[in-house]
Structure 1
Amino acid sequence: MMTMRYEFRIGIGFMTHSKGQSIFIISAIALGVAVQIFISSLVTSLQASLIDRFLGESAHISITDGNTRDQLLTLENKPLIYGNFSLTQNRITDSSNIVDYLKDYENIKIVVPTVEGNAIYNRGGKTTSLTIRGVDLSLGDRLYNIVDRIIKGVPVIDSENILIGTRLAQDYDLKIGDIMQLTLSSGKIETVRISGIFDLENTNSNTNLVIMDLNKAQRIFDKKGYVTNINIQIDDVFQAPILAEIFQQKYPYLEVVPWTRDSENIIKALKSQTETSVIIQIVVMLATSMSIASVLLVTVIQKMKEIGILKAMGALDKSTGYLFIIQGALIGFFGSVLGLFFGVAVIEFYVNLAQPSFDITIAPSKLILIVFVSTISGIISGIAPARKCMKLSPIEVIKGE
């Protein structure tokens, strides 16, 4: 009785007998796999670069107090003039409990509570509107990456010192140690000193953003003990809508906003890249599978006499079919493994030639998946030749009919 080990040896024998043909098809598969690795790694790395560029230093999910006017209308059983606000407007009253809950939540990297407000700065007849962000710098730096991008002065914020952007400093000829008088929405004037100038590589931030100590911001905006925003970064940015919905249900009196709400164009671009990559990989895989099937069908014709002799010696139809399933699996496996080296070489060549502005990384899990899929593809490609082989009559084959 023939065993799988025997069929395995015969299958390898068929491959080694036509070495040139086997090397050619394995090399063709390796090139196809190299294309898959290059395209998938390039698209994945480009997506990661775009996400980091647009979202790396901003909140993936933001929690604010929401529309307090609607709350007031539903909580009070008396007529109100539209436009009235609750006394706790623009503040999150139980922020400490919310922050503690979020810190322990799975998939959340950073939770940064802030107090945000507006101020007017006037100097030499020029006036600009500023966004004040009060934050604990040691915590906020993990999200906004401020400290490493201080280009002048020192990263210090306290009851007197603030940080401003490089564009604001240029527009108003401000230097380290200069005093700024900020006019708040309440009409109050707050005096602060510039301790550092940052470059966040964002025109709006560099022009309008002022980084202030959290406690000072709470005091000047009358938010002592409260915050106005809770900013969250998560591991997988595409999970933001799902997590935002969960948090919204838990805190229905607040407004939970994922980054995706106002970023439809970015999402479409990322999806388009992914879909294009998948289509190209599928086409390459189909071409590879057809190549394997074609070569194995040719092998059936070339080895008809040998197959006939095997069947005459007692080999079952199913056993002779296994020969080509095994060959398909081996060709797919060795081709994909060789393709891994080709793929890495192509990426290295591209990096040295094009010098892209982002790092191209190769995910080991993706390499394993490509080898697995290529091997399965080889097995599937061997089914048609195997069925053709199983239908051969040993008597007719030996006679040469």
Structure 2
Amino acid sequence: MKLAFDIALRFLKSSKGQTALIVLGIAIGVSVQIFIGSLITGLQKSLVDKTVGSAPQITVSSKVDGDFILDAQAKIKTIKAANPDEIINLVAVTQGPAILKTANDSTTIVIRGFDWDAAEGIYKITDRLVKGKLGTSENEVIIGKELSDNLSVKIGDTIEMITPKGNTGEFLVTGLFDLQVRSLNESWILTDEASVQTFLETGTGVSQIEMQVKDVFAADAVALTVEKRLKDDSLVVTNWKDENEALLSGLTGQTASSLMIQVFVLISVVLGIASVLAISVVQKSRQIGILKAMGMHNPKASLVFLFQGFLLGILGAFVGIGLGIGLSWSFATFVTNPDGSSLVPFFIDWYFIGISAGIAIAASTLAALIPAIRVSQLDPMEVIKNG
């Protein structure tokens, strides 16, 4: 085996131009795989973070609109126990519609109250504050920047709200937020849980329990586990995958298209390697014939070309990894939004890169099977005689 390896290495060194060309072909194939894979994964990650990452991924609520969940803390303990390793960022939310009145205008809003610390994990409200501060005292609220602009409400103003039952309440505006969704900025008013429960007269009841999971794409499975653990027919458990079928379909389509491109790139690389090595068999046929005439058996002669394919795959994979990471970094750095932020974030998945490199090495080795089989069929005397 060592002899076959040494001969393979010598053959590669003797045709440096041809070797460099094959390595470059493999490297381009690997770099395209890594670049497209990283681009699609980064795009999906960015899209999920912007849509699902800053929103509840599983929600537990009452089946009857307007009803509230009693014993919320007991329900939260049960939910946590359903899958403690996967479920994160639980928060109980009390919410309801109301009419916001100002001196000159009025509009329908949704007032939502929760524990600020618990809600931080999902909504990242501290980071979304554009001005002012969170309301830390009773009847202090923060409103969306669009709602502030529409009604000319500023920090320090007192606003009046009326519930559908006719209850009124006055609230002090302490800050403005931007959830990066205009409809929410125009309709949500956020405050602490106690203020909403008092205003809406819900007692200790909450409207829903919201949570996130570590693996967003496992939300449906976790939701099913939560539903089985709660064993409460009055509650309904929903997840983002069921409510965002269009988004999920788009992500699936992106993954499928990326896979197809990578498969065709791989096929082109395999065909290129097989054809070049097949030519190499013709070029080296006299040397191989001499070696076989001197006693080298067919399996060892075939190993020469299998080792060539393996070595070419390793070299091409390492060069391709460097090129692929460089392309991904360049795209993330120089292709930007108008505000200067990256259009697609730079993302490296070492597991995916390792798989791409492994596939390239395996494909390169398998591509060498065709010339290896051809070598085993060579008649040494005929080759030496005819040159």
TM-score over 0.5 for the alignment? yes
User: Distance in 2 between the 1:155 and 1:171 partners?
Assistant: 21
- Which of 80, 96, 121 is 2:73 aligned to? 96
Matched AA of 1:266: L
Please tell me whether residue 247 in structure 1 is matched to residue 233 in structure 2: no
- Which of 9, 28, 32 is 1:31 aligned to? 28
Q: Indicate if the aligned counterparts of 1:25 and 1:292 stay in contact, CA closer than 8 A.
A: yes
Give the CA deviation at 1:30: 0.8
User: Distance in 2 between the 1:140 and 1:362 partners?
Assistant: 30
User: Distance in 2 between the 1:98 and 1:106 partners?
Assistant: 17
Q: Indicate if the aligned counterparts of 2:33 and 2:265 stay in contact, CA closer than 8 A.
A: yes
| Map of 1:349 onto structure 2 | 330
Q: What are the Cα deviations for residues 308-351 of structure 1, in whole angstroms up to 9, with x where unaligned?
A: 22222222211111111111111111101011111122223333
Give the CA deviation at 1:24: 0.8
| Map of 1:333 onto structure 2 | 314
User: Distance in 2 between the 1:264 and 1:367 partners?
Assistant: 29
User: Distance in 2 between the 1:216 and 1:185 partners?
Assistant: 17
How do 1:67-216 and structure 2 match up within 5 A? 67=64, 90-103=67-80, 105-124=84-103, 126-216=105-195
- Which of 356, 360, 363 is 1:377 aligned to? 363
- Which of 358, 367, 372 is 2:353 aligned to? 367
User: Distance in 1 between the 2:312 and 2:131 partners?
Assistant: 61
Q: Indicate if the aligned counterparts of 1:158 and 1:212 stay in contact, CA closer than 8 A.
A: no
User: Distance in 2 between the 1:163 and 1:353 partners?
Assistant: 37
User: Distance in 2 between the 1:326 and 1:282 partners?
Assistant: 24
Structure 1 unaligned residues grouped into runs of 5+: 69-88
Q: Indicate if the aligned counterparts of 1:322 and 1:386 stay in contact, CA closer than 8 A.
A: yes
User: Distance in 2 between the 1:94 and 1:389 partners?
Assistant: 77
Give the CA deviation at 1:228: 1.5
Q: Indicate if the aligned counterparts of 1:113 and 1:231 stay in contact, CA closer than 8 A.
A: yes
| 1:129 partner SS | strand
User: Distance in 1 between the 2:380 and 2:124 partners?
Assistant: 75
Please tell me whether residue 281 in structure 1 is matched to residue 262 in structure 2: yes
Q: What are the Cα deviations for residues 349-371 of structure 1, in whole angstroms up to 9, with x where unaligned?
A: 33343224231211112221111
| Map of 1:55 onto structure 2 | 52
Matched AA of 2:376: M
Q: What are the Cα deviations for residues 147-202 of structure 1, in whole angstroms up to 9, with x where unaligned?
A: 22222222224312111111121222212222112111221112211111212222
| Map of 1:234 onto structure 2 | 213
| Map of 1:388 onto structure 2 | 374
User: Distance in 2 between the 1:148 and 1:353 partners?
Assistant: 26
Matched AA of 1:179: T
| Larger CA deviation: 377-386 vs 146-155 | 146-155
Q: Indicate if the aligned counterparts of 2:148 and 2:176 stay in contact, CA closer than 8 A.
A: yes
User: Distance in 1 between the 2:7 and 2:218 partners?
Assistant: 51
| 2:25 partner SS | helix
Matched AA of 2:310: A
CA 94–106 in structure 1, closer or farther in 2 if over 3 Å, else same? same
| 1:320 partner SS | helix
| 1:176 partner SS | coil
User: Distance in 2 between the 1:284 and 1:126 partners?
Assistant: 61
Give the CA deviation at 1:10: 1.0
TM-score normalised according to structure 1 size: 0.90
User: Distance in 2 between the 1:222 and 1:124 partners?
Assistant: 26
Matched AA of 2:55: S
Q: Indicate if the aligned counterparts of 2:116 and 2:192 stay in contact, CA closer than 8 A.
A: yes
| Map of 1:19 onto structure 2 | 16
| 1:59 partner SS | coil
User: Distance in 2 between the 1:138 and 1:296 partners?
Assistant: 64
TM-score normalised according to structure 2 size: 0.93
Q: Indicate if the aligned counterparts of 2:286 and 2:383 stay in contact, CA closer than 8 A.
A: yes
User: Distance in 2 between the 1:21 and 1:92 partners?
Assistant: 72
| Map of 1:43 onto structure 2 | 40
Please tell me whether residue 318 in structure 1 is matched to residue 299 in structure 2: yes
- Which of 235, 238, 253 is 1:272 aligned to? 253
| 1:288 partner SS | helix
| Map of 1:65 onto structure 2 | 62
Cα RMSD between the aligned structures?
A: 1.7
Matched AA of 1:190: G
CA 138–13 in structure 1, closer or farther in 2 if over 3 Å, else same? same
| Map of 2:243 onto structure 1 | 262
Q: What are the Cα deviations for residues 270-320 of structure 1, in whole angstroms up to 9, with x where unaligned?
A: 111111111111111110011111111111111112212222222221111
User: Distance in 2 between the 1:67 and 1:115 partners?
Assistant: 15
Matched AA of 1:192: F
User: Distance in 1 between the 2:161 and 2:333 partners?
Assistant: 50
Q: Indicate if the aligned counterparts of 2:220 and 2:241 stay in contact, CA closer than 8 A.
A: yes
| 1:360 partner SS | coil
